[in-house]
Structure 1
């Protein structure tokens, strides 16, 4: 057989390291078999152990058919987010450099590992995908047992227990402080908006990727940001109570509350961004520092619109003034954003990006930089299949040894 095949098992949440201390990639029949045995002994209920045994079985079958075949397992990260995809990408590149294979057979235990397929297909031909399904006896006991095992995993536990707990807490607070049923629904709506636009991921990744360490000066800014955020909520609540006591309607009282929150909340945002800039600068992520200008622009637009809308509800400004202030906020926010993008293009012009590897935020390999056209604000990327793709320079979110685009 002419093709050099790789039987590849995937453990995207890195159970192998968590339960056995074995780091990926694991290469070779004996090492994979040993890893499978240790993982199964550590947790007989984990399907990743069965996936490894299936990979070894598939390897033996192909070996008997005279294929030149290798077997390996790659691992991701516990969080199953960008970090997992980036680690998967790194390990695939490592295997390709070591083994020089032409195609692979992917062995996976479920849908969560399917996210590796787009990353894998940009680097290597995938001949087939082998899904491992564990046989279970039918019945309520086995269903119950499976559910209970899943609930031990943090991802599912947060959904099943966390969301109902937050809802109960919100309604309890609303009842105790006589805020009405609208208050928890407003908070839930705000959370869904934040979740929908991905702002929660940005905040979580900001703290997890850079870390809040007491040894860094940025820690002071983060703590101050949190304190100002809490203080803004207290001021907002006090404004709401004062308004209700004065006999104002609930919508007007909410408007007063928002105005109270916005007295200190912008300071919280500024302190947070300063902390981010310090951390990014210490990590030599100078290009990402520029992105903070975009966030400032968005913050100016959002907070200004919320403030003037609240002022209009209260009756502090006329509707015509609301429209005028809204237009002004858009102009200022747009100007800050455009200045940031212009500066980013200027920085790109001074960097030697040609032939640098280009990946997206999920870690998927795209190709190498072929050409930069600053005048048109375009970057040309050539794939391994000699296709030329064109991206707007503004899509670049990070530059190090690789160029990362969104």
Structure 2
């Protein structure tokens, strides 16, 4: 019989790390190969009781676990132990293989179960040396339980050569990059927008407008964000398929946008002329309380009307389509209306004419009204269209 030192140890199902050896090199006549499953995957997923002794039974256990959960690394450890068993057999050793398991929650009960199964295996097969196969450090915490009963020849960790999750992540990443480049729905935003910014910046520099390039680029970026945020691009696309809901949505977007622009111009016109004539820097003008208060006073009413026009158009569009989303559209309008008075009070605070407690009171009242309105609307539509209508709505 060959000596242990002459055995070529190459347990390598995918990649093997033989990182430690315990005990002196000596002659072993009977060797037991232990495969440790500390969290009892073989019992929970495979439905098998341990200990499992013998090559054929271990092959069955590994196959069963692989069928139930192909990604479980314990499958690799089981077949790695079988490979180690075969190599011992080929070298002429009297060898046996056994699979022992703990419990799902590990701990003292799990280690006690492993201890009992080790004693059971050694009672059936009286080995004088053991090889421990595991798939990681967690299973290897049970090594002292074996070491106290039989000399350990070697500890071998079976490591998967390439993690499937990493490989899958790269595949998903490549797929999404391809979508961003070749799918018109995404490329127009992720490629078209940066392309427009680069072209604009380049032309501005060529024609000597480098100072205006940044402002122009920011304006383009802001316009693109507004178009995407309010689905204006989709609404324009629906013009090729004329429907009442599509026309209402497009009209409300354009009307609301024009009113919002008018509110900005109206706010600028409310700024006292003497401030423009004072030759102050742009920073001083922007941070001036009089400027902020005057601009907000002239802007808020028209701004709220413009936003309400857009929200009302969305509400009518969804109502024509019979969509349950009208619940959220109504709540948007309610919340927008309830924010109008607090915004006016905030404007008064900027000019130091208001009372902060009035603002707090308005916000609390608005919150209460919002909760009541939301409760009423959801209850109304739940009774009218059934609870499932709300549950399965995709927003």
Using the size of structure 1 for normalisation, the TM-score is 0.39
More contact order relative to length (CA 8 Å, sep ≥ 6) = 2
Using the size of structure 2 for normalisation, the TM-score is 0.40
